[in-house]
Amino acid sequence: MGKVIGIDLGTTNSCVALFDNGEPVIVANSEGGRTTPSVVAITSSGDKLVGQIAKRQSVTNPEQTIYAVKRLIGRKYDSEEVTSFAKIAPFGIEASDNGDAWVQAGGKLVSAQEISALVLAKMRDTVADYLGEPITDAVITVPAYFDDSQRQATQDAGKIAGLNVLRIVNEPTAAALAYGLGSQDDKKVAVFDLGGGTFDVSILHISDDVFEVLSTNGDTYLGGEDFDMKICDHLMDSFQEEAGIDLHGDKMALQRLKEAAERAKHELSSATETDINLPFIAATDDGPKHLAMTLTREKLDELSAGLLERLVEPCTIALADAGISSSEIDDVILVGGMTRMPAVRAKVGEIFDREPHGGVNPDEVVAAGAAIQGGVMTGEVENVLLMDVTPLSLGVETQGGVSTKIIERNTTIPTSKSQVFSTTEDHQSVVRIHVIQGERDMAVDNKTLGRLELLGIPPAPRGVPQIEVNFEIDANGVVNVSAKDLGTGKTQAVQVTASSGLNEEEVNRLISEAEEYSEADQQRRDLVELRNRADGLIYSTERTLEEFAENVHEDDRGEIEKALEIAKEATQGEDSGALRVAVDELSALTYKMTEVLYAELGGDDSE
């Protein structure tokens, strides 16, 4: 195997590295930059520009300059995230035939994968130029909370770029790999990754080059782009108040504002105030209008207060899922350019009650970690074990609409787990498996990943067939599900792909809702379990009455049939108390009947 490159495909910037002479090396692009803007532009002549050259012409060509496409990849057009992004993006975003979010570029609809592929190809060519030889093998990083559709879409982008994607690695895990490689210390670390468009936090245990992810959480619609827009909104509101002109509909002005906001944000990481000057931002009958104002760090912190507060909950959940307190964290590793913002660093200190580790480059550490993983795969790096996790529970819908988990969230991957189920009706020839993802007790409250059918089950009483459902999650986080009739050996499988992914915001929502509605969920689950118990009791009682019709006394039969009707009616209602009474009454009568039958039939046998 030749060289394997590590690519951090970022929302705002991308970075590429390779493992060389025993260490990861960040490779500078042709313009001399160690990071490359994740920007693609289509010129009037149809030429495609990528990176810094594309970003430079964005003000004069806003409608054909595509940025932050990572916020679209693997997402549906009608999703909340895409709807929100489409309101501020100067380029067109539309639905493809299958409902995915695509962009208008060069007079046609183009997939987010194709745009990302152009950035990936730029990264590939950067290393090829550096080495003087072609490159095909790559490790690409994604946010820890990227779902199956987004991971698959990223892999597809790699293929379009002509890359053989050997592994998809979670960004916080890659950062931890770069931070801890070669260290003999036994540590628990938190990786706090706030980039241009996504936020991840992972808790890891690192010991003797074994990297074990204990938990992960995040918010994939929170990043530097959102902080930039807070500044843009402030500038536009102030300008409208001062000049009476609304700039929201002016795409060229918006692009200038966005660039100015990004510059101001960067400057306020080291200065306490900065001047923003945008001459000729608009024009009226009275002549041109200029925007000029001073932005202080204090004002930026005020504008960002809501965004900063959103950083807290994912960290709290990650610590709880890892089963440790903030005082047990030895180091906090900062990843992503946004962690240079003083207010973000202060919030990190507040959350983890310690100063963050300052020994890594937040812009480059993820790419470096990806390159190390590449080195592991080529054999250049030995004795390193990386154990990542799946961020959300996977399971199936069972009788009564209950969610039955097969793989719990934060389980180490790759993994494979199985559970045996049976039929719910006599002579059932088909079993339909509803694959779901989430933490709620009822299937309807979770996300559907896929459905499959197992056909040709031999006729048998309910409960007799043995159907084994098996979940497999590979090292890239791709899910495969199969169902097997253990009696006949027939198997049906489904791979959960891009058409049925789950976005990171939904993951956070599902976990939050699971905690918020845990008591109500438990009550609903108890009712369903009681209904299932009643259904089984009704079934077995009716079977007994039918099979031993001649042996059941008429008085007993009448009493039992009355109890059966009451129980059947109670199963249709929502009153768990009434259902429990009906079940207990029917159970007592059935037990009494079977005792009499056993005594009578046993007596006959003994004679």
Using an 8 Å Cβ cutoff, are 33 and 13 in contact? no
Which helix (H) or strand (E) covers residue 587, if one does?
A: helix 576-606
Whole-angstrom Cα distance, residue 504 to residue 607? 71
Q: What does the buried/exposed string (b/e) look like for 565-597 if buried means 16 or more CB atoms within 10 Å of the residue's CB?
A: ebbeebbeeeebeebbebbebbbebbeebeeeb
Whole-angstrom Cα distance, residue 324 to residue 310? 21
Whole-angstrom Cα distance, residue 550 to residue 544? 11
User: First-to-last CA distance in the chain?
Assistant: 81
Q: Which two tokens stand for residue 399?
A: 């009788």
Residue 425 burial (CB < 10 Å; 0-12/13-18/19+)? exposed
Residue 416's CB: how many other CB atoms inside 10 A? 12
Residue 604 burial (CB < 10 Å; 0-12/13-18/19+)? exposed
Helix locations, 354-428, DSSP H: 365-378
Residue with structure tokens 């440790």? 324
Give the CA distances from residue 550 to residues 546, 600, 601, in Å, rounded to whole numbers and listed in that order: 9, 12, 12
What is the DSSP code (8-state) at residue 28? P
DSSP string computed for 454-477: E--PPP--TT-S-EEEEEEE-TT-
Using an 8 Å Cβ cutoff, are 586 and 542 in contact? no
Residue 265: φ, ψ to 5°: -60, -45
Give the CA distances from residue 395 to residues 88, 404, 515, 577, in Å, rounded to whole numbers and listed in that order: 37, 5, 18, 29
Residues classed as catalytic:
8, 70, 171, 193
Using an 8 Å Cβ cutoff, are 201 and 314 in contact? yes
Residue 492: φ, ψ to 5°: -130, 135
Q: Which two tokens stand for residue 27?
A: 């490779």
Residue 380's CB: how many other CB atoms inside 10 A? 18
